[in-house]
Amino acid sequence: MNAVKPMPPSGERTTIPVVYIVDDDDAVRASLRFLLESVGSDLRCCSSAAEFLDIYDPRRPGCLVLDVRMPMMGGFDLQKLLAEGAVPLPVIFMTGHGDVPMSVRAMKSGAFDFIEKPFNYQVMLDTIQAALARGVQLHEEAQHRSKRKARLLSLSPRERAVLDLMIDGKQSKQIAHELGISPKTVEVHRANIRQKLGTDSLAQIVQIVFGVKPTGAGYP
């Protein structure tokens, strides 16, 4: 199974959103291409989930217009893969075989919307514009999380140990006693932590830690 590309560092991005169209029906892709190009949208059309995974650019915000029924990997399978990879793309499902249970499943799985074929062009355009706006927001949030995680991972093991005790409310003398180091050394570590995390506020440091929770870093 194709892997989802990871989010890049926050500096490597472009804010121009892109619409991904994934449908194995040539006529549907051509129709959507014509519709979106008529309003100046930047789009990428794919005939399969595998093709989408090959061309997906995590540096760009966007949305995904996704057919439910496709060979090899269907729409729900692709949506599940994207969710597992925390990919910040709102998904608009479309299908020619829609029914109420399928619509409920799509929305419960986190879909942005569900549109049946043949679709109304204006409804599709309005839905895509709303999904793109949400996609830009999700992309910015993901970039902030990536930046915070990178800052945490820049801490040395000793700095992480000091940070854990800082979050527990321990003062420098208590931290020094528990770690078997001098209070002066603790102050040096605290200064390094504040510099690497970019803040002198313990409240903001706590927010950074519990907003990221990097695996293996000793955080709950």
| Percent of the residues in the chain that have a pLDDT greater than 90, as a whole number | 58
Mean pLDDT across 69-96: 90
User: Which of 104, 46, 93 has the alpha carbon at shortest distance from 65?
Assistant: 93
d(CA 60, CA 44): 12
User: Which of 106, 71, 69, 73 has the alpha carbon at shortest distance from 90?
Assistant: 106
In the chain, which segments carry CATH 1.10.10.10? 154-212
d(CA 29, CA 31): 5
In the chain, which segments carry CATH 3.40.50.2300? 18-147
User: Which of 48, 40, 34 has the alpha carbon at shortest distance from 17?
Assistant: 40
Mean pLDDT across 130-157: 91
154-212 folds as Arc Repressor Mutant, subunit A (1.10.10)
CATH for 18-147 is: 3.40.50.2300
The yes-or-no verdict on residue 207 having pLDDT over 70 is: yes
d(CA 73, CA 131): 23
Q: Which of 10-19, 97-106, 109-118, 131-140 has the highest mean pLDDT?
A: 131-140
Pick 147 or 35 by higher pLDDT: 35
The yes-or-no verdict on residue 191 having pLDDT over 80 is: yes
Q: Are 49 and 22 in contact (CB under 8 A)?
A: yes
* pLDDT score of 113: 93
pLDDT digit string, tens, across residues 13-46: 457 899 999 999 999 999 999 999 999 999 999 9
Which residue is associated with the tokens 């995590």?
A: 58
pLDDT digit string, tens, across residues 114-134: 998 888 999 999 999 999 999
- Which tokens belong to 214? 């990097």
**CA atoms in the 13 A half-sphere facing the CB of 96:** 7
Pick 95 or 115 by higher pLDDT: 115
Q: How high does pLDDT run on average in the chain? A: 86
Pick 134 or 5 by higher pLDDT: 134
Mean pLDDT across 95-104: 73
In terms of C-beta distances under 8 Å and separation of at least 24 residues, what long-range contacts does 136-140 make, across chains too?
136/15, 136/17, 136/61, 138/61, 138/88, 138/89, 138/90, 139/13, 139/60, 139/61, 139/62, 139/88, 140/61
Strand 43-46 and strand 91-95: the pairing is unpaired
Confidence band (pLDDT; 50, 70, 90) for 98?
low
Query: Cα separations (Å) of 185 from 63, 122, 128, 148, 176?
Result: 49, 64, 55, 25, 8
Rounded to 5 degrees, what angle do the CA atoms 77, 214, 11 make?
Answer: 80
